[in-house]
Chain A
Amino acid sequence: MNERATPSVIKGRTPSSHVGGRAVTISHVTAGYGERAAISDITLELAQGSLTAIFGPNGGGKSTLLKCIAGLMRPWSGTIEVLGAPVGVHAARVAYVPQAEQVDWSFPIAVDEVVAMGRTPRIGPLGRAGAADRAAVAEALERVDMADLASRQIGELSGGQRRRVFIARALAADPEIYLLDEPVTGVDPVTQEKIMNILDAEAARGRTVIATTHDLACAAQRFHDVVALAGRVVAHGPAQLVLDREVLEKTYGGHLVPLADGGVVLLDDPHHSHGSHEGHE
């Protein structure tokens, strides 16, 4: 659906600020764990229908920011508005896809049961699943190519398949905003492609997609906009910003290793934390 751009060719994409109203408004937010702030004085506006990647070093606050938007963490200061209301009011219209490691895979639960969870806020307490819900689940499974594995227990799935199940759960919820924490990290390229195609399609439908990622190439090639986050907002704009040297230097600081020919290599070990609690809860 979208052609792959090589890093040296910058494809112009429509800046998403022209697409729709504000989906997420973040105003002077500071948040962290214990005594240490992971993000400081973040001010950001993400428009509806945008397809935004948040990138930056480990410890830079990507997960923290996402959790604040999702309502899983309370900022120490500042405000966040989601769909025009404080966080939590429209929680049913937001789908959060966590990093896969945080779930117990030995849980005796089948693929379609997980996907069906996405319908829970829609059905509401005391309600029962109806035909529309079952159809949504089936369709979501189709879109992630997991329909034939619907009865499989999640522990029997590969990493890529597990990720797709959680994406399907989000799809089944039919939210207005998708928040995805490292959706394409640690999965095979085929799954990556599938996932990005889906996110693209959702954005094209007018949904807002916000994802954190380590993968700069993916951010540059598949997303419309990016936010460079290193404890603070370094840059926010069209995806080609991720390849801007100055942005990279400000974001990654000492992780950039100069090469003999004048280029740079970014060394950012995804498992090395800079002392913050990024990625842990």
Chain B
Amino acid sequence: MNLIDLLLEPLAYDFFVRALVASALVGVACAVVGSFVVLKGMSFIGDAVSHAAFPGIVIAYILGLPIILGGAVAAIGTALGIGALTRRSGLRADSIIGVLFAGMFALGVALFSSIPNYVGDLFHFLFGDVLGISVSDMIALSVLVVALLLVIRALWKELLFATFDPLGAGAAGIPVRRLDNLLLILIAVTIVISLQAVGIVLVVAMITTPAATAQMLVKRFGQMIMVAAGIGVSAAVAGLYLSYALDLASGAAIVLVETALFLLVLLLTSLRGRRAA
């Protein structure tokens, strides 16, 4: 069986094609948002927000509301809360984030354990369930990702300025705090829509790793985002195919591909550096 056949075989199944599209979209969205997250040193916040979505999901499930809605409310609320608390209180940012992170997740676990019946769907929010994505889910995902990318494209210059030099940007009349909050909301939304693909535990990797890899390869921010997005898409596709071929969990396979790529680039760039020195 040659390579072409190997690549075409899984495409005969609708569920695989949908999973591929969904994962690729999630890969792009996470990588683009992740570029800002990595540069602001906010990866910890990313992990906290993804875990904070859990109680929102459980509560929505208990109340019979759409799970995504609960997750989004919890994620956005936590993200903005982190922003506000770090700005105002005297505590260090990582303490606040750590407290919220663990507390929210514990709340989710406590609520989850109070549900008497087996709840398979909830489990998948921890580790992803992209193989079960429906057509309507995929359409909703596409719309959200496109909207996200449009927002970033529209406010690109302002976001860059505010991220790189908040003082200079503020002095130039750019609403830095509002953009900070917007970025937090974008991060939260990206996380929530990505939960389907890779789950709460792994989404931070999809946000951080492609951007961290891209940062080692290019010098311009504009290029960094494009490279990160490219990595996000290719890792998603490669990971999904690998999961098919080797019977691995799909979300984990994608993250492993991204991590391997990161390590490879790290190795190559440090070798290059040593040779040049």
Pair from one complex? yes
List residues of chain A with CB under 8 Å of any chain B CB. 67, 70-72, 88, 91-92, 94-98, 102-104, 107-110, 113-114, 116-118, 120-121, 123, 125-126, 129, 151-153, 166, 169, 173, 179, 281
B267 within 8 A of partner (CB): no
List residues of chain B with CB under 8 Å of any chain A CB. 39, 154-155, 157-158, 160-161, 164-165, 167-174, 214-215, 218-222, 224
Question: Quick one: closest A residue to B35, CB to CB?
Answer: A108
Find out whether the CB atom of B171 lies under 8 angstroms from the CB atom of A94.
Answer: yes
Q: Which of B155, B171, B173, B215 lies at the interface centre, i.e. has the most chain A CB atoms within 10 A of its CB?
A: B171
Find out whether the CB atom of A107 lies under 8 angstroms from the CB atom of B167.
Answer: no
Find out whether the CB atom of A120 lies under 8 angstroms from the CB atom of B174.
Answer: yes
Q: Which residues of the other chain, A, contact B215 by a CB distance below 8 angstroms?
A: 108
Q: With contacts defined as CB atoms under 8 Å apart, how many contacts are there between chain A and chain B in the complex?
A: 94
Q: Which of B39, B170, B215, B222 lies at the interface centre, i.e. has the most chain A CB atoms within 10 A of its CB?
A: B170
Main DSSP-derived SS at the A contact region: mixed
Q: Which residues of the other chain, B, contact A123 by a CB distance below 8 angstroms?
A: 157
Find out whether the CB atom of B158 lies under 8 angstroms from the CB atom of A91.
Answer: no
Question: Quick one: closest A residue to B224, CB to CB?
Answer: A108
Instruction: Choose among B39, B155, B221 the residue that contacts A113 (Cβ–Cβ < 8 A).
Output: B221
Find out whether the CB atom of B154 lies under 8 angstroms from the CB atom of A108.
Answer: no
Q: Which residues of the other chain, A, contact B172 by a CB distance below 8 angstroms?
A: 91-92, 94-96, 118, 120-121, 173
Find out whether the CB atom of A96 lies under 8 angstroms from the CB atom of B171.
Answer: yes
Question: Quick one: closest B residue to A179, CB to CB?
Answer: B171
Q: Which residues of the other chain, A, contact B164 by a CB distance below 8 angstroms?
A: 103-104, 107, 109, 114, 117
With A117-B157, A117-B161 already in contact, the answer to whether A108 and B220 are too (CB < 8 A) is yes
Q: Which residues of the other chain, B, contact A92 by a CB distance below 8 angstroms?
A: 172-173
User: Closest CB-CB distance, A69 to chain B, in whole Å?
Assistant: 9
Find out whether the CB atom of A120 lies under 8 angstroms from the CB atom of B220.
Answer: no
Q: Which residues of the other chain, B, contact A98 by a CB distance below 8 angstroms?
A: 165, 167-168
Q: Which residues of the other chain, A, contact B167 by a CB distance below 8 angstroms?
A: 67, 70, 72, 96, 98, 102, 281
Find out whether the CB atom of A125 lies under 8 angstroms from the CB atom of B173.
Answer: no
Q: Which residues of the other chain, B, contact A67 by a CB distance below 8 angstroms?
A: 167
Mind listing 30 A-B residue pairs with CB under 8 Å?
A70-B171, A71-B171, A72-B170, A72-B171, A88-B173, A91-B171, A92-B172, A94-B171, A95-B171, A96-B167, A98-B168, A103-B164, A104-B164, A107-B164, A108-B39, A108-B224, A110-B221, A113-B160, A113-B221, A117-B161, A117-B165, A118-B172, A120-B161, A120-B169, A120-B174, A121-B173, A121-B174, A125-B155, A153-B220, A179-B171
**Cα of A179 to Cα of B173 in the assembled complex, Å:** 14
Question: Quick one: closest A residue to B176, CB to CB?
Answer: A72
